[in-house]
Amino acid sequence: MIVISKKERRDFCIQCRRLTGYLLQKKDIVRNIRDREYPFNITVAICTECGEEMSIPGLIDKNVQEIDEQYRAVAGLVSPVDIERLMKLYRIEKVPLSLALGFGEMTIPRYMEGQVPSRENSDVIRSALSSPSHMKQKLMENRELLTETAFRKAFAVAVS
C-alpha cells in the first residue's frame, strides 16, 4: 500500500531513463463510467528530476481503489465496509449472505473483492442493513438455500 508523504522515494523514471526520486501528490481527473463523467482525485508519483509522472509498483491498484471508493460515494452505492457491517450484524458469512439476499452465491464475495454492485443489489443490501424486517423477509424467502445454522443465527438477530 502506498502512503502519501513528503519523504522522497526512488524508482526508475522512463523519461529520465534512470533511477530518480519521486513524490506522491494528488491529481484531479475525469473518467467516464456508464456514459456519465465523474471527477476523481487520485494519487500520482512525480519525478523530482524532470517533473513528469512516473509509474511505480502498486500505484495503479491504489488508483483503482481510490476511484472505486469515490464512485461508490457519489453514486450512492454500498461499499465493502457496509457489507462487512451487514455480515457482522447478522453473524453470516459471504456466501450465505449472498443466498439470503437472493443473489448468486459469488455476488457478495465479488463485491467484497471490489466489484461495484448494481443499483438494485446495492439497494437490497442497504435495506437489509437498515431494516431488520427486510432482512427477516429475505431470510424467509431464501430459507431453502441456507444451511439451518446460517438461517437460525441470522434470523435470531433479525427478529430480536
Residue ranges, CATH 3.10.20, the chain:
9-75
Q: Grid coordinates standing for 41?
A: 482525485
Q: What is the pLDDT of residues 74-109, one digit of tens each?
A: 999 999 999 999 999 999 999 999 999 999 999 999
Cα distance from N-terminal residue to C-terminal residue, the chain:
40
The CATH number corresponding to 9-75 among 3.30.70, 1.20.1050, 3.40.50, 3.10.20 equals 3.10.20
**pTM for the model:** 0.76
Count CB neighbours of 12 within 10 A.
14
d(CA 57, CA 2): 9
For the segment 108-128, what is each residue's pLDDT rounded down to a tens digit?
999 999 899 999 999 999 999
